Amino acid sequence: MRAWLWLTTRSMANRRLSVGLAVVSIALAVTLLLGVERLRSDARSGFANTLSGADLIVGARSGPVPLLLYSVFRIGDATSDIAWSSLEAIAAQPLVKWVVPLSLGDSHRGFRVLGTDGRYFAHYQYADRRSLAFAEGRPFEGVFEAVLGAEVAEALGYRLGERIVLAHGAGTASLAEHADKPFTVVGILARTGTPVDRTVHVGLAAIEAIHLDWSGGAPIPGLGLTAEETRRFDLSPRRVTAALVGLKTRASVFRMQRYVNEYKGEPLLAILPGATLQQLWGLMAVAEQALLAISALVVAVGLAGLVAVLVASLGERRRELAILRALGAGPRDVFLLLAGESLLLALAGCGLGAVLLFTLTGALGPWLEARFGLVLVFQGLQPREWLWLAAVVAAALVASLVPAWRAYRLSLADGMTIRI
Amino acid sequence: MSGTSALDIAGLRFAWPGQPPCLAIEQFGIGAGEAVFLHGPSGSGKSTLLSLIGGLLMPDEGRLRVLGTDTAALGASARDRFRADHLGIIFQLSNLLPYLSALDNIGLACRFSRRRREHAGEVAAEARRLAARLDLDPSLLARPAAALSVGQQQRVAAARALIGRPGLVIADEPTSALDAERQAGFVDLLLGECQASGSALLFVSHDLSLAGRFDRCVRLTDINRPEGAS
């Protein structure tokens, strides 16, 4: 056995270019496969962790998935909003424990601005019922005060006391800025690994104040109110984008959902966040599976490359096989020699692929989090990933039957006669 | 091994599937430690005979004993082991694994056979001793086999065939790639070493000029009469 391992490694070292390329192609395929798998599971757990502890999410009537996406994940925009009076009616229901209003639509240098009130900091929960915590400072109290998510503060280098200007709209290149009404940073939240980290939080009154002199998404010409002047107006909110609703008992969730959906004042929609997330995964499953299938195909291409390298090498190795036969190797030994070589190459490819995966997640993790809010957990190989690697090695062994069988046939036919 | 003949063939018949018989040998033998020169035109069945002796082919009929063992009675893997233990084989050309050093190539036979490893004692030292006896400069031994000249390669192959003192050495036209002067030198070295290690030698060639150096010269067409076989 040791003699065979010694011979195999020496023989592979002799063909290091073609063998090395085969290993690299397998490694790249494995990195892709594991990377897709890791992105998928980390995206799922990231989304699940964001679910905010709310029993219901209420918004204007649209689809459940868009409502979930814009209210909790800050993806996409609301098509309509809801009246403050509707929200008060819901809050007054005996089954309701708390309501957190959410007002979206503005941004600051690419980060979304969320208008809410103190109840947000009290009731918002993420990842296993953890509440929001302040890394520095306090919740907003005055109109022109802001609380930053951890990522916003870090990416823009903001500290407490910083003066910031909000922009109308959610794009990264907003032209219309509320430059005349700057905000002061009074608090920075601890990191959560959820979209909260990428959000600028202000009071609902602030949202009203910066839009007082606006109409239809643009400033009203000639009506420039200063921050001081806005304080003379009634800044109580009239409309919000959505609301998180917590109930006294979970058992009443369907009754409350029906109440909201049948609300007479305006068309509303209430969703159960967990159920809607499942619906979202249902929609995503096709794309996920397509991605996974493509990665599996890439692995198949890598293995086909491995088989091609081994089969091509058999031509020049026929002589080697005949010498080994003369020295006492049986056809079975020749078969095992080739299969063992595939195994070694597949193992090397998997090892290199895992190293590449770790390097890439280490290098790209911060960028993915900043750009897409996707938090990659830096961790060792998971049971599921070990299974994938085992599947790749098993597939390599099955694929190696092709060159191994061919070598077996050749060595039976050639015996110890050298044919070149 | 003295007393047991190295090779004992009687009433041997062999035909490739679907073809007329190509070997029919009534009687052929090699004594222990005897050096026999076997010659015949190409196509006369030399390679087939060597494959039969090596245990890679099975005779259809007859007796074939190598060093007293009826190899046809052994299982396939036992035959492979027998070949590793008792036969040293030298090919016409390219005997060596190009990616191993000359020294590793010589020692290779001992990696596949415990018996030959035990007979060789300290394998590397024995390989060096044989190489020196075969006139190979010690500085060549660390070089990869592919870097050696054809003559040097054949002497390395001879050392590999001889290491661990196998009972029978088979050489299949080992000198055909060498010029006349080197042919004689190679054969003398091979004969000397076979004698020293007590191995019988079956030397196959079509070049009769070498025949005089052997104990006995046999023409294959004299002992093989396949047309009378059926």
Residues 6+ apart with CB under 8 A from B121: none
Contact of B48 with chain A, judged by CB distance below 8 Å, is answered with no
Confidence of residue A377 (pLDDT cuts 50, 70, 90): confident
Query: What is the share, in percent, of chain B residues with pLDDT greater than 70?
Result: 97
CA separation for the pair A53, A69 (Å, rounded): 15
Q: How far apart are the first and last CA of chain A?
A: 28
CA separation for the pair A256, B80 (Å, rounded): 82
The lowest-confidence range among A221-225, A230-234, A311-315, B180-184 is A221-225
Confidence of residue A236 (pLDDT cuts 50, 70, 90): confident
Chain A positions touching chain B (beta carbons under 8 Å): 3, 6-7, 10-11, 13-14, 319-320, 322-323, 325-333, 415-418, 420
Determine the average pLDDT of the residues in A260-271: 92
- Per the listing, tokens 């065979």 go with A4
Interface test with B, best of A316, A317, A334, A416 (most B CBs within 10 A): A416
Secondary structure of residue A413 in the 3-state scheme = helix
CA separation for the pair A226, B52 (Å, rounded): 106
Q: Are strands A145-148 and A183-189 parallel, antiparallel or unpaired?
A: parallel
How many CB atoms are closer than 10 A to CB A355? 12
Determine the average pLDDT of the residues in B213-221: 91
User: Are the C-beta atoms of A38 and A376 separated by less than 8 Å?
Assistant: yes
More confident residue, A113 or A215: A113
> Do B51 and A417 make contact, defined as CB atoms within 8 angstroms?
yes
**Position A264: which residue type?**
K
pLDDT at A281 over 80: yes
Task: Indicate left, alpha or beta for B18 from its phi (over 0: left) and psi (-120 to 50: alpha).
Answer: left
Burial degree of B74 (CB within 10 A; 0-12, 13-18, 19+): middle
| Chain A contact set for B83 (CB, 8 A) | 326-328
Instruction: Count contacts between A and B (CB, < 8 Å).
Output: 64
- Give the closest residue to B24 by CA, choosing from B220, B223, B226: B226
The lowest-confidence range among A136-140, A190-194, B192-196 is A190-194
DSSP label at residue A220: P
User: Are the C-beta atoms of B36 and B216 separated by less than 8 Å?
Assistant: yes
Question: E strand or H helix at A58, and its extent?
Answer: strand A56-60
Report CA-CA distances (Å) from B81 to A376, B67, B77, B102. Answer: 56, 14, 6, 24
For residue A27, the model assigns a pLDDT of 93
CA separation for the pair B193, A22 (Å, rounded): 45
> Do B94 and A420 make contact, defined as CB atoms within 8 angstroms?
yes
pLDDT at B2 over 50: no
The lowest-confidence range among A48-52, A120-124, B63-67, B84-88 is A48-52
Of all residues in chain B, the one with the smallest CA distance to A417 is B47
Confidence of residue A221 (pLDDT cuts 50, 70, 90): low
Confidence of residue A224 (pLDDT cuts 50, 70, 90): low
CA separation for the pair A310, A321 (Å, rounded): 13
Q: Are strands A125-126 and A130-131 parallel, antiparallel or unpaired?
A: antiparallel
Q: Are strands B61-66 and B69-70 parallel, antiparallel or unpaired?
A: antiparallel
**pTM: predicted TM-score of the whole model, two decimal places:** 0.71
Interior CA angle at A148 toward A78 and A192, to 5°? 85
Of all residues in chain B, the one with the smallest CA distance to A327 is B84
Secondary structure of residue A279 in the 3-state scheme = helix
> Do B80 and A415 make contact, defined as CB atoms within 8 angstroms?
no
Contact of B93 with chain A, judged by CB distance below 8 Å, is answered with yes
Which residues is A99 bridged to in the sheet? A245
Query: What is the share, in percent, of chain A residues with pLDDT greater than 90?
Result: 30
Of all residues in chain B, the one with the smallest CA distance to A412 is B56
- Per the listing, tokens 């104040």 go with A209
| Mean pLDDT for chain B overall | 87
